[in-house]
Amino acid sequence: MIIIAGNRVNSVSEPLTPLEQYIVSEKLKSPQPFSYESEDQLKFELRMRTKIVEAAEEMYASRVKFGDFPKSQSNPAYWIRMPNGGFQLRPGVRSSDAIRDIWLNSEMYTFECATAIIMMMYKAVLETIGAPLFDTYFQNLVLYTWTTDEDLRIITKPGYESFPGDVLYFKNPDVNPATPEWQGENVIELGNNLFFGHGMGIKTPIEVIQELNAYRRPFAFRSAFLMHQVTAPDYKYLYQLSKSVPASTYTDITMPFRGIISRIGEFTVVAS
């Protein structure tokens, strides 16, 4: 069910894209309450979910390569490759330009699936709130597994109910030690029972499990499986950011340092 300003609603005003209409219909049918302060706040989430799906589809169509951290590569004009295989934003470079370059010059990039998820999240935020605000709030970016800027506020909750734009995780408990990069796969839900995982492409859940099972150790008996968790950015917080004024419109202002929060393993610590 969808609750707006304390009242349960049965519809959302048009216009909505087909994907947005699908998300709304699924949330309306759900017994779980999804509460919003306004319809505009809900529509912001719908727009950003759409941008996450688009970022995933565009990454799938790009020439980025899959590789673990020792094999990672990036465009040195925008990113400094760190000793751990992560990428640090080069000083003097706009965050928005560096994120878009991952898609524009995709053949120069190699990274693993968790880093890919964060890249797609940043791309969706950028295309939803615009470059001036993105450059204001997402400074000093580091792309390394689940390390994120504090303003992204990735949240992981238990549960199986998910919608397009959500991140799910397939775990491979008996992974072959020779291929540790296939211990699991982070995927973006696209809709129509399809998921995108960097390194796998677009697949159904059964196909994701079958591929992970191909990387189990000899005589393994446990199948890969979909974990009981759903990950998404804090849409309500990002909606509030979208209503602020970019720092570039001010004079004599110094932006504070934007810190980071980290995800360790399969769960997230969220900064307050």
The mean pLDDT value of the chain amounts to 90
Domain for residue 249, yes or no?
Answer: no
Residue 251 has pLDDT above 70, yes or no: no
> Residue for token digits 């760190």?
82
Structural domain containing residue 200: 2-243
CA distance 11 to 28: 8
* Portion of the chain with pLDDT greater than 70, in percent: 90
Which DSSP helix (H) or strand (E) runs through 20? helix 18-29
Domain for residue 272, yes or no?
Answer: no
CA distance 197 to 28: 28
Query: 161 and 155 in contact (C-beta within 8 Å)?
Result: no
Domain for residue 267, yes or no?
Answer: no
> Minimum mean pLDDT among 142-146, 183-187, 247-251: which range?
247-251
The model's pLDDT over 64-123, given as tens digits with 9 standing for 90+, comes to 999 999 999 999 999 999 999 999 999 999 999 999 999 999 999 999 999 999 999 999
Domain for residue 22, yes or no?
Answer: yes
Q: What is the mean pLDDT of residues 240-244?
A: 92
Query: 125 and 89 in contact (C-beta within 8 Å)?
Result: no
Enter the pTM of the model: 0.88
Residue 183 has pLDDT above 60, yes or no: yes
Phi, psi of 65 (to 5 degrees): -115, 155
Domain for residue 250, yes or no?
Answer: no
Please report how the helices 235-242 and 113-129 are oriented relative to each other, as an axis angle in degrees rounded to 10: 40
Q: How many domains does the chain have?
A: 1
Q: What is the pLDDT of residue 257?
A: 33
Domain for residue 260, yes or no?
Answer: no
Domain for residue 45, yes or no?
Answer: yes
